[in-house]
């Protein structure tokens, strides 16, 4: 049926280093960056400093404008990249427009700290259209304009005007974590997994894992130009599926890495000042090397442990639904069985892991990053990719000459 795979242990556990920062509140569990390694997704690291911060990087790099909706486009960028305050970004764009001249003559940018919005305006020159949608860097193109960074809706171009103000207030637009794995502990990672809380509009979020053989420091733009990027899949689009399983996966088709330096970047343009990262984990795959598969998946279900509402229970406790995954390993070669099942039992019932039903097909997905992201999201939505824990397991059954084959069953259950 499917060449299943388990992913444990977490190779990034406790390997976090510097981060994009947080507001220190004594006693608040969100202060601790260690929470990104916690097995419990609800024990989150809360990033943010309580004030708006911007980032000039591969996701926010260009401003494009024209004199009319159909005339030639002029394109500029700032002279710097990296983290900055909103005022620094506004000043940088003003300097870039002044330097560029042409249709930008007389234009400037200012930041309103009360309303947390930017305004482009002119004291001379001509009215402009900001090409947030139809420019080469707009949402129809590479989508690396400053629109989302500055609170503009990039689903349309602005009208011709001498003043343009953000559609939405801005917040802190980034969270990042630097990981370093000791060289002797580096495993051939095939999968990264994360849970990001509070995401309702996927269009305003991007999450990426970068990896490299050497460190690129604490600057996202340097990682973006000098490391390999593996984007995380979005959550399922249907609200009910999204609520049941918020797992995000990052996979490079048919490739693993032992690069010990890794950098997690979450870009969020939702106007919030704080963001919750449930966990970030990296795994090598544990699966059959001789193409053994799960022949039949019986009893896989979205289980609701809540007691039913009835006349004797008018105020029934409502519990979280969770995926249950019963796996039967029938006559597996003893060495492979011990690698998957026995080691899983040794890891215990209180350690999180990722299970993917049809890992072989997912791992070989064509279509580049976009195709892989879609395949991962579809697996999550169907409950075929789940972050879970071991709940129970059977004894082993030996068969074949010299006990060459083993059989057994395990029950996994989603951890939310």
CATH number where 203 lies:
2.60.120.260
pLDDT at residue 294, rounded to an integer: 79
The tally of CA atoms less than 13 A away on the side-chain side of residue 169 is 11
On whether both 188 and 47 belong to a single domain, the answer is: yes
Residue ranges of the chain with per-residue pLDDT less than 70: 1-2, 23-31, 401-403
pLDDT tens profile 23-47: 666 555 556 888 999 999 999 999 9
On whether both 20 and 134 belong to a single domain, the answer is: no
- Whether cis (ω within 30° of 0) applies to the bond prior to 9 is yes
On whether both 262 and 299 belong to a single domain, the answer is: no
On whether both 39 and 181 belong to a single domain, the answer is: yes
pTM score above 0.75: yes
Is residue 2 assigned to a domain? no
pLDDT at residue 289, rounded to an integer: 79
On whether both 48 and 196 belong to a single domain, the answer is: yes
Last residue of a domain, one of 165, 187, 218: 165
* Terminal C-alpha separation, the chain: 27
Residue 323 DSSP symbol:
E
Is residue 6 assigned to a domain? no
On whether both 28 and 95 belong to a single domain, the answer is: no
pLDDT at residue 248, rounded to an integer: 97
pLDDT tens profile 202-227: 999 999 999 999 999 999 999 999 99
pLDDT at residue 27, rounded to an integer: 53
Is residue 3 assigned to a domain? no
pLDDT at residue 392, rounded to an integer: 96
Query: How far, in Å, CA of 244 to CA of 235, rounded?
Result: 10
| Residue keyed to tokens 């029950």 | 411
On whether both 106 and 141 belong to a single domain, the answer is: yes
pLDDT at residue 23, rounded to an integer: 65
On whether both 155 and 213 belong to a single domain, the answer is: no
On whether both 213 and 150 belong to a single domain, the answer is: no
Range of the domain at 85: 54-165
On whether both 156 and 180 belong to a single domain, the answer is: no
Look at the chain and report how many structural domains it folds into: 3
Query: How far, in Å, CA of 157 to CA of 130, rounded?
Result: 6
Q: Which of 207, 218, 154, 148 is closest to 180 using CA atoms?
A: 218
């Amino acid at each position: 049926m499917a060449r299943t795979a388990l992913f444990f242990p977490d190779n990034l556990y406790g390997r976090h280093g510097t981060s994009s920062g947080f507001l220190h509140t004594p006693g608040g569990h969100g202060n601790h960056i260690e929470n990104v390694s916690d097995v419990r997704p609800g024990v989150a690291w809360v990033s943010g400093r309580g004030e708006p911060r911007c980032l000039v990087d591969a996701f926010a790099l260009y401003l494009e404008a024209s004199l009319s909706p159909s005339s030639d486009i002029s394109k500029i960028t700032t002279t710097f990249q990296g983290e900055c305050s909103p005022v620094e970004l506004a000043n940088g764009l003003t300097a870039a427009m002044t330097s560029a001249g042409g249709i930008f003559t007389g234009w400037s940018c200012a930041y309103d700290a009360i309303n947390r919005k930017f305004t482009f305006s002119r004291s001379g020159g001509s009215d402009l259209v900001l090409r947030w949608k139809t420019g080469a860097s707009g949402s129809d193109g590479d989508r690396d304009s400053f629109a989302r960074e500055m609170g503009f809706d990039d689903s349309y171009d602005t009208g011709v005007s001498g003043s343009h103000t953000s559609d939405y207030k801005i917040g802190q637009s980034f969270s990042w974590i630097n990981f370093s794995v000791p060289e002797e502990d580096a495993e051939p990672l095939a999968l990264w997994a994360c849970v990001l809380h509070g995401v309702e509009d996927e269009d305003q979020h991007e999450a990426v894992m970068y990896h490299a053989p050497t460190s690129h420091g604490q600057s996202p733009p340097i990682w973006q130009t000098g490391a390999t990027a593996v984007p995380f899949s979005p959550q399922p689009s249907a609200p009910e599926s999204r609520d049941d399983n918020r797992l995000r996966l990052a996979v490079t088709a048919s490739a693993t890495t032992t690069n010990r330096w890794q950098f997690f970047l979450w870009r969020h343009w939702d106007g919030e000042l704080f963001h919750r990262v449930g966990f970030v984990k990296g795994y090598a795959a544990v699966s059959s090397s001789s193409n053994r598969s799960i022949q039949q998946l019986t009893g896989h279900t979205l289980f609701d442990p809540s007691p039913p509402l009835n006349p004797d229970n008018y105020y029934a406790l409502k519990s979280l639904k969770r995926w249950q995954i019963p796996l039967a390993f029938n006559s597996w070669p003893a060495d492979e069985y011990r690698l998957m099942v026995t080691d899983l039992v040794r890891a215990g019932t209180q350690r999180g892991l990722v299970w993917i039903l049809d890992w072989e097909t997912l791992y070989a997905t064509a279509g580049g990053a976009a195709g892989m992201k879609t395949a991962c999201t579809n697996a999550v939505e169907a409950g075929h990719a789940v972050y879970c824990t071991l709940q129970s397991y059977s004894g082993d059954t030996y068969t074949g000459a010299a006990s060459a084959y083993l059989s057994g069953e395990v029950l996994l259950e989603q951890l939310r």
